[in-house]
Structure formats: C-alpha cells, structure tokens
Chains A and B, each alone.
Chain A
Amino acid sequence: MKLLVCLKQILDPDVPARDFQIDPAAKAARRGGANLVTNIFCENAVETALQFREAAGGDVKITALCYGESSAEDCLRKAMAMTVDEACLVERNGNTNPEAAAVGRVLAAAIRRLEQDGGPFDAVLVGRESGDWGVGQTGGLLAEELGRPALGFVESLQPGNGGVTLRRQTDVGIEVAEAEAPFLVTITNNEDNVPRIPKTRDVMMSYRKPLQKLSLADLELDSEEIRDGSSIFEVEEIFIPTDEVECELAEGDTLEERVDQLAKRIHEVVASIG
C-alpha cells in the first residue's frame, strides 16, 4: 500500500502574543521572531499514517508532500525523522496566495507527477485545517482535483477487510467507515495520534535521505492555474483584536443603594446593546 501525507509549514501558533505582528500592507502575519513549524493537524496525519503502517505490518510506503518555501524542507526532514519513507517539496517561490483551490491544484499536479513515477497512492491524508488561516478546505478541493472520494475529520486508519477501516469524528459520535482505495481523508487530532518524538538516529538519518524537489514549472502549471497574484477572495483587513475592559463601580452609601445602582446600570447597558 502507498500513502501520501500532505504537510504545511506555518508560523508557530504558540508564538507569545506580544511577538505576533502583522504586516498591514501585505495584510498578512509578519514572521518577526516567530518560528516556523509543521501545522499540527498535518503532524497528526503523519502520525496516523505511521500507525497504519505499523498496524499493517510493514508493507506500506509513506510519502510526505509539501507545497511551501524552501524553509519547509525542515517539515519534510522532520517527517522523515518520524520515519516517513519519502519526501517531496514543491517550491512555492514567493507565491503566498493562501487560497485553498490553488493549493489543491498544485498538490494534485504534484501527486499525479509522483504517481507517474511510482504508481498510484491508495490513500491521501491531509490535515483537517491549518493553524494560520484555518480555512480547512484544502483537503476537499484536493479530492475534487484528484477525483477521489473524500471523508473529513478522520482520526484513525486501520487495515480492514480488503480495504481500510476509518474512524471519523462527527457531531454525534464516532463513525466507522470502510474505504476502498483510492480515497482521501482529512485528519483531525485525538489522543492517539499525538505526533511522536523521533528517535535520534532517525533524526540523523533524515538528513541523509534524498528529498525530491519540484518547481511549479516542473509541474507545468501556469500562473493562471495557481492564481499567482490574484485570488477569488480578498483579505480586506487583518488586525489583532484588543481586549478593552471598562470597569465601573456601583456607587452608594448603603448596600441597598449600591445594588439599586448596579441593577439600573445593567438595564442601561443591556438596553444600549439592544
């Protein structure tokens, strides 16, 4: 079996509030002192794939694919340290368009290229959403591009009778599904797919493993297809919300007076909010 896991590199969502900056001109977060990390749901997806391989008993090959800046190589190296078999980076070269449809198109083209060389992927695993924009649509749009059936919010993959048994989180509980290849799933987190810490030897080995790099030109995508420089939506404004606290003390000489005053003010405030 062959699995493919898509990864995204994002600004560290754990950056201290005071270190988080916005570039008002670009209408995007500024890197500042923040680190770049692998999106957590993508790491959950890697872990889920690894656990599937372990459960299936070895005859499973996992490829990690990332569309990002050259710095995203770190994410792929870490995936390889977690013992993913192969990794491929599609270099983004400054195109920062976050639009999921464009990203889906790039990923689909890269997957088709990888399938040309190494045969079809039975399952494609995508993180539920990313920790930066949180749009949560890449998985579905990628499935559309690939013409695969897709299931969202999956938390585990197990070898099943002839296919794969999936557990997915729904509003009413866990749904268990049987899937036949090829398919795509978006992965959410649960307590069992916390990304593992790689063994040191695997960390060292990850830097010696080959890492395939593709450019958008290699994938023969024109700028129209990936909407370079344009988007179907526009970021109008981006800002850091501020907490403003106004404190007012109910006045009065006696407790009764203060309670009355308080009740009066509550009425006024509620009325003003409408």
Chain B
Amino acid sequence: MFRVGGTVPFMDPTQATREVFWNIEYTWLVYVLMVPTLAVFGWGFWLKIRRWRAGQPAIRFDRPAERLQLFLRNAVGQGRTIRSRYAGVFHTLVYTGFIVLFLATTVVAIHHDTPLHIMKGHFYLIFQSLIVDVFGLFVLVGVALAAIRRWISKPNLLVYTDEASWILVTIFVMALTGFMVEGWRIAVTDDPWAAWSPIGNLFALASDPLMSDAAMQTGHVVIWWFHLVVAFGFIAWVPFSKMSHVFTAPLNIFTANLDGYGGSLKTIDFETAERFGINHLGDFTWKDLLDFDACTECGRCTDVCPANTVGKSLSPRDIILDLQGLMHRQGDQFLLNGNGNGNGSGANGSDELLPIIDQKTAVSPEALFACTTCAACMEACPVHIEQMPKIIDARRYLVMEEADFPEGMMDMMNSLESRQHPFAGTQFSRVDWTEGLDIDVMAEMDDPHEAEVLMWVGCGGALVERNRNTVRATAKLLKKAGVKFAILGREESCTGDPARRVGNEFLFEMLAKGNVETMQRYGVRKVVTSCPHCFNSFRNEYPQFGGSYEVYHHTQFLDQLLESGRFDGHDAAGSSNGSSTITFHDPCYLGRHNGEYEAPRNLLAKVGGARQVEMQRSRNTSFCCGGGGGMAFVDEPPDQRVNQERAQEAVDTGADVVAVGCPFCATMLDDGVNARRGDRDVRVRDVAELLWDAVGESDQAAP
C-alpha cells in the first residue's frame, strides 16, 4: 500500500498508460501463433456450418426486427439464463467477464497495432485497469461457483463430462495467469497507477515480500507465454467443445421459432414426401441441426420435464445430446447422404446412415412416447432449442412408417379414424350434454349465420362424463350473457390434436380438412372452446389448412363478457365459493403454448371472494397434468404418474379447489387429486363451473 504514489510525487492521470508487451521479446511470435489458432477456429466452425447446411430448408431469417429483439433480450441480455438463480449468477459473471476481457484485448490490439493509441488517460485507468480487473475477478468467482456446483453439490441436471471440467479449469487458469502477469508487471515496474488495478495490485503486494524482482520478471515471461498459449489453445478448441455455444447459442436464439410453441409443428406434403417423419439426421432442417450444436448441456429441459420428473426414461437433454453426438460421429457420411436419400448409399453396412431412433440411446421409442408435448423443455431452454417438435418428428416416423406405438394410442387412433373422436367406448353422444338447455345446432338452424359464435364443444367436453358439466356451465354462461351462439352437434369432429401430437399427421390432416370444410359451410368466423387443445389447433394450426378464425378459449371469452358487464348484478353474490381457496392449474396449451395466463385468473378473482394461491410451478413454468401428447390415453405405470405429481403440488398449496381450464387437465387431475388429497376435501373444477356457481346461482334467487 506504500506503492500508491510512493515513487512519483505528482501524477498526471491524462498521461496514464502502460507499456504493451513489457518484458516480452519475440512478440512477432504472437502473430505467428495466431495464424494456426484462427485457422483451426475457422475450420471448426466451417465444419459445423457445412453440417447445418446439409439439413432441409427452414425460413429462420425473416422478421429481422423481432429476431433482433429476441436476440437482445435472451442472447445479449441473458433473459432466460438468469431465470435459474445460481447458474444465472455465475454465468453472468463469466459471460460479462469474457466480454469485458475481450474488449480489453481489442483495446490493446488497437493501441498497439494501429496508429490509434487509445489505451491511455482516464480511459486507461477506469476501463482498461479498474473495470477490467473487476470483471476479471468476476470470471474467477463465476468459474469457482460453477466448479462448486459441478464438483461438490453435483445436481442431477448436469452432464458430468471431462470436457466440461476442463473448460472450467482452462478459464480459471486464463484469468488467474492474467492477474499473475499483471501483478508481477506492477511489482517490477513500480507502476504508479497500480491502485487502479486492485486485483493485480493485490497479487503484486503478495508477491513482493516473497520474490525478488528478477524472479518476478522471469515468472512474468514464463506465465505470460503460458497464458497466451492457453488462451490460443482455448480459442482453437472452442468450435470443438461445448464452448462453441458462445457463437451457436446467440445464432440459435436469433433463428428461434417466433410463433410460439403452439405453432411449432411442421406440416407434411404427403404427395411428395419420400418419408413421413424423421429417422435420419438429413431429414431435419438446418435449424434442427443447429439446435444440436447449440446445446450447452445445462440440463434445464430435463429438469422440468414431467415425464422425467416421475422417473420415465424421457430426457430432452439427452435426446439433443445423443443426436448431436450422432451428427458429429457420422461426419461426412451424413453430408453425402443428408439430402433426401436417408437410407445411405454406402457400399458396406458401416457406411450407412444410422437411424436416430435407437433403443440403446435417449431417442428410444419408449422415451419418445412418454412426451406430453407440454413444451416445458422449450420454455426452460436458455438458448431456445426446440426439443418437442423433434420428438414429434421421430414419433411421426414410428407411427406413420413403422406403425409402432403404445396400445392406448392405438385405440385412440382407431376411434379417431372410425368415430372422429378419441374416446373409444364413450357412453355419450356429442349432443347428450345439451339436454334441457335448448342450444342451437347449426345444421338445424334456418340461418346458421345468425349465430355469431360457434361454441366448439370438443370431444373431451361432450363425451367424458366429468366434463359435461363444464360445457353446460359454459353454454349457460354464454346464454346468460346474451351471446348468439350455436354448436355443430354431431357434425363436430375431433380437431385432430391428439392424432397430431402422437405423430399421426395424416389422420390430423384428414380431420382438420373435414372440420375446416364443415365450418366453411356455416360461415364460421368466431370460435369459443373450453378445450385448450382445440383452441391451439384453431389458432395455430388450422390456418395452414385454410381455416382462419377469431379464436377464444372460454376463459378469455368469459373474461371479456365479465369485463364488459354482461354478468353484472350477479357478481359473486351468494356464491358457494365464498370461503374457499383456489389454485389455478395452467393448461400447457393455453399458457405456455399460447401465452394466456391472465384470463382464467381474472375470472377466479371474481369468484365469490375466493382466495387465490399459486402452485410453486405456475404460469410459464407450470407442470403438465400428464394428459397432453396423447398421454391421456395411455396407462402410465402406477409409480410414474405425472398427474399425481402435479396433484400433490396442488394439494400442498392448501387449496380446496383446484381450478382447471382444460377437459384433459380436469380428468387427469381429478384422478390425481383423489389419489393424493388424503382426508381433505379437494375438488377439481373448471373455471366455467366456478363462474357459473358464482353468477348463476344468484340467478335462481332473482325473481
């Protein structure tokens, strides 16, 4: 601490700088070494780009303004990375440290290799010395935190590879040796501006009593070159390690799907497609292949995966990593065979392209058919990898090319094919629920155009006993609000969602086209449905088949009616929900897939003074009921039930009503809550049922 100002009585900060390459000879060697470094770096990325380009086309450079915004938010701003607190902290430390240190190196290069001698004065002191030192410390601390997690606390979500450990070691060594050379330089040169480099100065102060100037000077040279070699080696290694995410992740975020998870499935041209679905890497789009290379192995996708949580073999992270490994292993063979003829053209078996679906990997049929398509993985991914559509692509192959799928899905598809609804053995017809309600059916109306709104009932609403009360409540509420609506009755068919999610795109397309045709016949423009799966199909998928409608989930539509005073005078009076506590379970296809979190909560807030509590996993991190992706039709092993996991969470809130907005959630959570509620009276009710209780019952009291 005597060093500060100790040798120079007056210092002019405008003249502050330091000598670049102090104590270093043969500096030309730096430039010589840089050539192979950059060559390997460039070659590595060229290999990657070449592989991506072997993929099928995808339009992912359109809408540049939106892409830039997403890029700024989630790449530059690390929007998703910081959602995880611990990882968010250390990643931000290392990430910002890297940027600042890179800028500092750039400043040195400009200062030294161009006529612009910018590294001086206050800029030198404040940025190049103080800020750089602080951010260098960030890197050290960040890496240390990461190392504690990787080597000591060892959470399940990480992949424990030597590569990952070596990356931490290398970065730590780079930062540490950086401070060592800075410290020894300060110590030996008696740098008058030492105080501006606090960490380096600390090192200088620590070394001074222990080492002679000569020893420090020698150490400086050795460590300086060591630092350089490690740094150059690291740069060359980047494209071949998961550090490539420094470039692939921002690119992946820029080229992300902008249309939401609900619209993320590709259509198939059945007339021209050589294969249906994907079983070879070459059938993926370039963006899918980029996804594989963008993975940082952070494991958040698998951590939030409902199937994985209850102990099933599905792990979205491992699917991506196994496909990444396959892509890297197949190398040039993949490029040669990539486009179109996925069967491979090699002369012997070993040259043939390996199938992606493989019992021995994470991409096993069993794992693929455990996916509920809830998109939690995609929402959790900091770099916007699209796991779920790839799972569907592989399912499509299994279903359409191999006819290989779980038994429950088979019954469901058989029923869809011959009865246009997935509930084999239902005791109800599509109109039974209307008994006593006097509801218009379009086919029976003199002028179907009089109906302003089509109430799309959905198979889950009309044909499942438990949900008929939901659609009755919805219809009664619409009537009460004076909405002119009608139903299609027996002319309604499944929207095809369950078929599409299990991978039977052909069946989905047939059902979708049929429905579009029916709705066209009646000139339908506005649709209200209490099924988020139907809602998603209409909103995001039917436009591809010529059916564009104004689509509302019943909670959205009822919320609008409520806001505009259409239920006034009945608001919550005499409600039976007065003293209850409600927790709302976000349906995946309403929330994550379509971004609607508020409408159902607004409605619940109006339900007779009931108190709302949130489950730990809610809104965009909501945990699936287990019923999506065709899983509602599959018998899960008793110890691996997603619905019970979710029901437990709902029960744990202490709520006596679990509010839902989806017929599948309703049945799944009904079963789950009954298994997990213990002695407590916990009921699963649709938001519409609760609203009807609140505004409908008072109606009876009215004259």
Contacts of B429 in A (CB 8 A): 16, 18-19, 33
Shortest distance in angstroms between B460's beta carbon and chain A's nearest beta carbon?
15
**Per-residue contact bits, chain B 410-450, to A (CB 8 Å; 1 contact, 0 not):** 10011100111000111111101000000000000000000
Residue of A nearest to B430 (CB): A33
Which stretch of A93-101, A191-199, A209-217, A249-257 is in the interface?
Answer: A191-199
Q: Is A12 interfacial (CB-CB < 8 Å)?
A: yes
Q: Is A219 interfacial (CB-CB < 8 Å)?
A: no
- CB-CB contacts below 8 Å: A10-64 with B: 12, 14, 16-19, 33, 35, 37
* C-alpha gap A16/B425 in the complex (Å): 7
* Pairwise interchain contact B504-A14, C-beta atoms closer than 8 A: no
* Pairwise interchain contact B427-A199, C-beta atoms closer than 8 A: no
Q: Is B270 interfacial (CB-CB < 8 Å)?
A: yes
Q: Is B401 interfacial (CB-CB < 8 Å)?
A: yes
Which stretch of A146-154, A200-208, A266-274 is in the interface?
Answer: A200-208
Contacts of A201 in B (CB 8 A): 276, 400-401
- CB-CB contacts below 8 Å: B484-521 with A: 490, 504-506
* Pairwise interchain contact B490-A33, C-beta atoms closer than 8 A: yes
Which of B400, B418, B505 makes the CB contact (< 8 A) with A12? B418
* Pairwise interchain contact B418-A35, C-beta atoms closer than 8 A: yes
* C-alpha gap A33/B428 in the complex (Å): 12
Residue of A nearest to B402 (CB): A199
* Pairwise interchain contact B276-A12, C-beta atoms closer than 8 A: no
* C-alpha gap A200/B490 in the complex (Å): 27
* C-alpha gap A153/B401 in the complex (Å): 33
Number of B residues, CB within 8 Å of A? 27
Contacts of B126 in A (CB 8 A): none
Q: Is B33 interfacial (CB-CB < 8 Å)?
A: no
Number of A residues, CB within 8 Å of B? 17
* C-alpha gap A204/B400 in the complex (Å): 11
* C-alpha gap A35/B430 in the complex (Å): 13
* C-alpha gap A19/B430 in the complex (Å): 9
* Pairwise interchain contact A18-B428, C-beta atoms closer than 8 A: yes
* C-alpha gap A16/B423 in the complex (Å): 11
* Pairwise interchain contact A16-B506, C-beta atoms closer than 8 A: no
* Pairwise interchain contact B403-A196, C-beta atoms closer than 8 A: yes
Known contacts A12-B418, A33-B490, A37-B418, A200 near B427 by CB under 8 Å: no
Shortest distance in angstroms between A83's beta carbon and chain B's nearest beta carbon?
11
Shortest distance in angstroms between B409's beta carbon and chain A's nearest beta carbon?
9
Which of A14, A17, A33, A200 makes the CB contact (< 8 A) with B506? A200
**Per-residue contact bits, chain A 228-244, to B (CB 8 Å; 1 contact, 0 not):** 00000000000000000
* Pairwise interchain contact B400-A200, C-beta atoms closer than 8 A: yes
* C-alpha gap A14/B418 in the complex (Å): 10
Residue of B nearest to A199 (CB): B403
* Pairwise interchain contact A14-B419, C-beta atoms closer than 8 A: yes
Known contacts A16-B426, A197-B410, A203 near B506 by CB under 8 Å: yes
Known contacts A14-B424, A16-B429, A18-B429, A200 near B504 by CB under 8 Å: yes
* Pairwise interchain contact B427-A35, C-beta atoms closer than 8 A: no
Shortest distance in angstroms between B557's beta carbon and chain A's nearest beta carbon?
28
Known contacts A199-B402, A200-B276, A12 near B419 by CB under 8 Å: yes
Residue of B nearest to A74 (CB): B418
- CB-CB contacts below 8 Å: B384-420 with A: 399-403, 405, 410, 413-415, 418-420
Contacts of B427 in A (CB 8 A): 16-18
Shortest distance in angstroms between A10's beta carbon and chain B's nearest beta carbon?
11
Which of A35, A196, A197, A198 makes the CB contact (< 8 A) with B419? A35
Shortest distance in angstroms between A175's beta carbon and chain B's nearest beta carbon?
29
Shortest distance in angstroms between A110's beta carbon and chain B's nearest beta carbon?
25
* C-alpha gap A210/B695 in the complex (Å): 61
Most B-side CB within 10 Å, residue of A14, A35, A37, A204: A14
Contacts of B399 in A (CB 8 A): 200
Shortest distance in angstroms between B227's beta carbon and chain A's nearest beta carbon?
59
* C-alpha gap A203/B425 in the complex (Å): 24
**Per-residue contact bits, chain B 261-301, to A (CB 8 Å; 1 contact, 0 not):** 00000000010000010000000000000000000000000
Shortest distance in angstroms between A120's beta carbon and chain B's nearest beta carbon?
32
Most B-side CB within 10 Å, residue of A16, A196, A200, A201: A200
Residue of B nearest to A196 (CB): B403
Residue of A nearest to B506 (CB): A200
Shortest distance in angstroms between B196's beta carbon and chain A's nearest beta carbon?
70
- CB-CB contacts below 8 Å: B602-634 with A: none
* Pairwise interchain contact A197-B276, C-beta atoms closer than 8 A: no
Contacts of B425 in A (CB 8 A): 14
* Pairwise interchain contact A199-B401, C-beta atoms closer than 8 A: yes
Shortest distance in angstroms between A14's beta carbon and chain B's nearest beta carbon?
6
Residue of A nearest to B396 (CB): A200
Shortest distance in angstroms between B432's beta carbon and chain A's nearest beta carbon?
6
* C-alpha gap A12/B424 in the complex (Å): 11
* C-alpha gap A27/B26 in the complex (Å): 106
Contacts of B504 in A (CB 8 A): 200
* Pairwise interchain contact B401-A197, C-beta atoms closer than 8 A: no
* C-alpha gap A17/B429 in the complex (Å): 9
* Pairwise interchain contact A204-B432, C-beta atoms closer than 8 A: no
Residue of B nearest to A203 (CB): B506
Residue of B nearest to A198 (CB): B403
* C-alpha gap A17/B401 in the complex (Å): 36
Contacts of A16 in B (CB 8 A): 426-429, 432
Contacts of A197 in B (CB 8 A): 403, 405, 410, 413-414
* C-alpha gap A18/B414 in the complex (Å): 21
**Per-residue contact bits, chain B 71-87, to A (CB 8 Å; 1 contact, 0 not):** 00000000000000000
* Pairwise interchain contact B270-A204, C-beta atoms closer than 8 A: yes
* C-alpha gap A201/B418 in the complex (Å): 18
Contacts of A12 in B (CB 8 A): 418-419
Residue of B nearest to A38 (CB): B418
* C-alpha gap A200/B402 in the complex (Å): 9
Residue of B nearest to A20 (CB): B429
Contacts of B415 in A (CB 8 A): 14
Shortest distance in angstroms between B219's beta carbon and chain A's nearest beta carbon?
70
Residue of B nearest to A78 (CB): B417
Contacts of A18 in B (CB 8 A): 427-429, 432
* C-alpha gap A16/B459 in the complex (Å): 13
* C-alpha gap A196/B276 in the complex (Å): 18
Shortest distance in angstroms between B126's beta carbon and chain A's nearest beta carbon?
66
Shortest distance in angstroms between B630's beta carbon and chain A's nearest beta carbon?
13
Contacts of A196 in B (CB 8 A): 403
* C-alpha gap A19/B425 in the complex (Å): 12
Residue of B nearest to A197 (CB): B403
* Pairwise interchain contact B401-A200, C-beta atoms closer than 8 A: yes
* C-alpha gap A15/B82 in the complex (Å): 54
* C-alpha gap A63/B504 in the complex (Å): 27
* Pairwise interchain contact A199-B400, C-beta atoms closer than 8 A: yes
Shortest distance in angstroms between B508's beta carbon and chain A's nearest beta carbon?
11
Residue of A nearest to B271 (CB): A204
Contacts of B419 in A (CB 8 A): 12, 14, 35
**Per-residue contact bits, chain A 61-74, to B (CB 8 Å; 1 contact, 0 not):** 00000000000000
Shortest distance in angstroms between A202's beta carbon and chain B's nearest beta carbon?
8
* C-alpha gap A196/B404 in the complex (Å): 10
Contacts of B432 in A (CB 8 A): 16, 18
* C-alpha gap A195/B131 in the complex (Å): 72
Shortest distance in angstroms between A13's beta carbon and chain B's nearest beta carbon?
10
Contacts of A14 in B (CB 8 A): 415, 419, 424-425
Shortest distance in angstroms between B489's beta carbon and chain A's nearest beta carbon?
9
* C-alpha gap A196/B430 in the complex (Å): 28
Shortest distance in angstroms between B422's beta carbon and chain A's nearest beta carbon?
13
Contacts of B430 in A (CB 8 A): 33
Residue of B nearest to A82 (CB): B403
Shortest distance in angstroms between A54's beta carbon and chain B's nearest beta carbon?
14
6 residue pairs A–B, Cβ–Cβ below 8 Å: A12-B419, A18-B429, A33-B429, A35-B418, A198-B403, A199-B402
The 4 closest A-B pairs by CB, nearest first: A200-B400, A200-B506, A19-B429, A199-B403
Given contact pairs A17-B427, A33-B430, A199-B400, enumerate 7 new A-B contacts (beta carbons under 8 Å): A14-B415, A16-B432, A18-B427, A18-B432, A33-B490, A197-B403, A199-B401
